[in-house]
Copies of this chain bind each other. A is one copy, B any other.
Amino acid sequence: MRIHIQNPENDPLFDFSLAMWDAAAARAPDIGFGHSVSLGTTPADFAAAMQDAEALVTDVSVIKALFPCPAPRLKLIFLTNAGLDGLAPFTWLPPGVALLNNRGTHAVKAGEFAIMSILMLANRVPAMVTNQRAGTWRKLWGSGLGGRRVTIVGLGTLGGATAEHAARFGLRVTGVRAHPAPHPHCTCVIGTDALDSVLPETDFLVLACPLTDATRGLVDRRRLGLLPQGAGVVNIGRGALLDQDALCDRLDDGHLSGAVLDVFTPEPIPPGHRLWSTPNLIISPHTAADDPATYNPLSLDIFLDNLRAWRDGRPLPNRFDTGRGY
């Protein structure tokens, strides 16, 4: 297959190389060899490659900058991102081209970040850091995780990995997803429409779902008020899942004991924004799910797995449904 890999121009930490491709091919020898692979960075590289490329491997920023464009032979676009909400509406996608995301790449890193965040909430680290900022020594006791209750919204790659860690630490895990179906690491799974019923019994609320029309503003001011006194919040999904201002209010008034957020509206957080000084809040700069050492190799493994399915005429495991938005 004629495959083109386009690196974004300003993200050298996550650049692909042909050596990286060769290593991935060697890990999947049944599908990795025999392709014509080109690599580009500039718009000129891109335009030249699109004349005959059948598959494109790139990221959201390149799509935003360079599509729509003529690509007469293109059949597959594989994006090295999981959340593609920034590309909606998908009118830029040439008819008949299958869009793939890299769902799965983030499991290890995001799962570890999420269980770390839950441990930080249980151990009161957000409050400790707030005291530290003020130069104040004050004893603050946390608790173990065993028997405490976590509610995880979204049971895809991120939420599923979170649930697995949480269950291993003895948390009682409730999963929330669009269409409830049992999950091996959840004690119970409910539909998103039943979220209100579990919030009053939630010690830790983890947001790990995609941003779609159905999830935008899901955790609004009213729902934050349904959480019990002392609950904590983690967001590794998208900033707009949550009423960020209401969250700051409930941290200010002490209803919530802490929050660990990796995603915000807007990003970057502007200088002087109230998020910077809200107590008991930890700010991670939208890097929770990304490990530069493994990101591209894992993404290529997933791409090759989809290429195998394509060759064999099977459904593509990472096919992105532009209608539902994930």
Residues of A within 8 A of B (CB): 13, 108-109, 112-113, 115-116, 119-120, 122-123, 125, 128-129, 131-133, 135, 137-146, 168-169, 267-269, 271-272, 276-277, 282-288, 290-294
Contact = CB atoms under 8 A, between A and B. Distances in A.
Contacts of A269: 137
A237 to B, nearest CB: 17
16 contacts: A109-B144, A112-B122, A112-B123, A113-B119, A113-B123, A113-B142, A115-B119, A116-B125, A123-B284, A128-B285, A135-B271, A137-B269, A137-B285, A138-B285, A141-B291, A144-B291
Nearest to A169: B112
Given A108-B144, A125-B282, 13 more contacts: A109-B142, A109-B143, A112-B145, A112-B169, A116-B119, A120-B125, A129-B129, A131-B283, A135-B271, A137-B269, A143-B291, A143-B293, A143-B294
Contacts of A140: 285, 287
Contact of A112 (B108, B119, B129, B131): B119
B271 A132 contact: no
B287 A142 contact: yes
List the number of copies, as a whole number: 2
A119 B110 CA distance: 11
A284 B120 contact: no
Nearest to A264: B137
Contacts of A294: 143-144
A124 to B, nearest CB: 8
Contacts of A293: 143
Nearest to A290: B141
Contacts of A131: 283, 285
Contacts of A272: 135
A283 B132 contact: yes
A294 to B, nearest CB: 7
B112 A144 contact: yes
Contacts of A115: 119
